[in-house]
Chain A
Amino acid sequence: MTAEATTEKARIGAPSIEGFTEEGEQLVPAKVDRHHSHGVQVMASRAERLTSHDVADFALPNGREEEWRFTPVRELANLLSDAPSDAGVLNVAIEAPAAVVQRTLHAGEAPRGATLVPADRAAVVASANTDDALHIQIPANAELDEPVRVVLSGNGAGRRSNSHHVIEAGENSRAVVILEHDGSADHNGNVEVFVRGGAQLTVVSVQLWEDDAKHLAQHDAEVAKDAVYKHIAVTLGGKIVRLNSNVRFSGEGAEAELLGLYFADAGQHLEHRSFVDHNMPNCKSNVLYKGALQGKGAHTVWVGDVLIQKQAEGTDSYEKNQNLVLTDGCRADSVPNLEIETGLIEGAGHASATGRFDDEHLFYLMARGIPEDVARRLVVRGFLNEIIQKINVPALEDRLTEAVERELAATDN
């Protein structure tokens, strides 16, 4: 009996990732010992990260760089090369309410490139190789009662695709834009978002790729005065997916919520990075990414950077990552980084927790008559529902719930 008690305590109290406390304190970059960084480039601040429109500014990564150290870069040669899209590799289908304006923007044609400045090799070659960026414009004061749906379907594994989308929500508009990715491709996709004053915009990026797809993405948003931006990344498919969701502000009183849900199976690498740059006073941000992992070699990464600059007084920010490990052989990396340059803030918090669904949980539920497959579903569905419920598009919520069920069914065998 004593042994059981000890085991339980160890399981609940112990950090699940080596070198990692529940709070993630040891990983705040300011505390990283620069003399022992083993070749990893350590920056004084997230703000020092290179951004540029020029391909020549970004060398090919070797995997030892801070921003690439979790990523299997050797498998990304095709995506990191400065190469055009293969012909017909991506079908793009758009459903949009009549009020929405669709056109294209050349490189350098405003507002393209004003907010999204590439921050890594993948993003810079994506934009450099996209002649015409799709521009989705929601007019000022428009309130869309249906979401804008952009379905991007890849036509072949290993075939290169570049894209750059510009989503612009006019002042005081209300809209939801859904980007759905399916099929297979080596897809480099940049998304640039402008949320103008007082607007409320939700962007949902859904990755339902086939098992052999690879997808690198940089989603950058600029949120203006009193505007509300919500970005939700839902990644279930793909062999390698790496999505950066970044936000900064151009006025006070703005809010940003960056949410994510991912479910990695055997052999999948699903990486999500977020960066909230509190560069203006009195803005709010909330970051929540939740992931489930199952199967040998399932690997997820979350790196959440929040920078509260000196002038950003009155900032209220929080970020959290939770992972649920369902089987042996998975790896969940979780790195919250919080930099605070002013003490005059409302709040700044971060948390990370990785838990296991283990035999004791299963025993408890089964001892109440619940069959094993139902028990697993119950736990995963409950865990991921918190994010799905925040999408507020019933048809998409239903489809994603079904997709999660299919992921679970895959382990029942």
Chain B
Amino acid sequence: MSTLEIKDLHVSIETEQGTKEILKGVSLTIRTGETHAIMGPNGSGKSTLASTIAGHPRYTVTSGSITLDGEDVTEMSVDERARAGVFLAMQYPVEVPGVTMTNFLRTAKTAIDGEAPKLRTWTKDVKDAMEKLRIDADFAQRNVNEGFSGGEKKRVEILQLELFKPKFAVLDETDSGLDVDALKVVSEGVNRAHAEGNMGTLLITHYTRILRYIKPDFVHVFVDGQVVEEGGPELADRLEEEGYDRYAKGAGPAVAAPAAVQA
């Protein structure tokens, strides 16, 4: 059982107009086996939270903390976080020139586990995982994400999720740009990883449709860098009907006291 705990997190970025605060005090606790959905309108800071957990250099933590089983994650480098068990499925996976998927997957697995995977079982694991995600076998010999469609990139993110077996997976708008079939395939991958019982999931999304395939235990509504409402799966249904309009500026938090759900 592991715990990823985010406490009163404030995050800012440097812009041409100066420092801008994006996250204004976010608290969230995720435990192994739980799936938390973070929902909110564009620009609310959802992706900032995801990138900050992974350690993207663009984001500066000005106060608050992120801990993984008590270890200070903000003190870790990006690669140390990944080796500690944090995985970010990216919203815009970049194309990496000159590195084949096969080489990349093996190098990453070796780094995360601290030892090279057994060649025979690893090759089979990769092949099986690719088949389940309906990724063509020839992708293995192509360069990482090079020439992949948006949907293919997202499948490859989930492929990594299944192969690297992180303690916590942060899925940053994995559903965006996917058609219904691809959404199902990707969701099944997340559910398979979750079913192994050793992972907690933070699912960031703008739309509710992925929640038909991945069932959240908790839903947090993000507006303007803060959690303004929290609840169970039923909250997502309400959002689907009502949208984010009622959280518009001036309306104020519908429910007070973030983190009440976990208490």
- Which residues of chain A have a CB within 8 Å of any CB of chain B? 1-2, 4-5, 8, 12, 324, 355, 357, 359-361, 363-372, 374, 378-385
Contacts and interface: CB of A to CB of B under 8 A. Distances in A.
B243 interface: no
A379 B97 contact: yes
A370 B108 contact: yes
Nearest to B97: A355
Given A364-B93, A369-B79, 15 more contacts: A1-B173, A4-B47, A4-B91, A5-B92, A8-B94, A361-B96, A366-B77, A366-B79, A367-B81, A369-B83, A369-B111, A372-B79, A382-B98, A384-B98, A385-B98
Interface stretch (B99-107, B117-125, B191-199, B251-259): B99-107
Given A1-B42, A1-B43, A364 B96 contact: yes
Interface string B226-241: 0000000000000000
Given A369-B112, A374-B111, A364 B90 contact: yes
The binding surface of chain A is classed by DSSP as helix
Given A4-B91, A4-B92, A378-B103, A370 B98 contact: no
Interface of B: 42-43, 47, 54-57, 77-79, 81-83, 87-88, 90-100, 103-104, 107-108, 111-112, 143-144, 160, 164, 173
Contacts of A371: 79, 111
Nearest to A379: B98
Contact of A380 (B42, B90, B94, B98): B98
A357 B111 contact: no
Nearest to B145: A364
B111 to A, nearest CB: 4
A382 B98 CA distance: 4
B43 A379 contact: no
By CB atoms of chain B within 10 A, which of A12, A360, A367, A383 has the most? A367
Of B82, B98, B104, most A-chain CB atoms within 10 Å:
B98
B94 A368 contact: no
B95 A383 contact: no
B94 A360 contact: yes
Contacts of A12: 95
Contact of A1 (B88, B91, B96, B112): B91
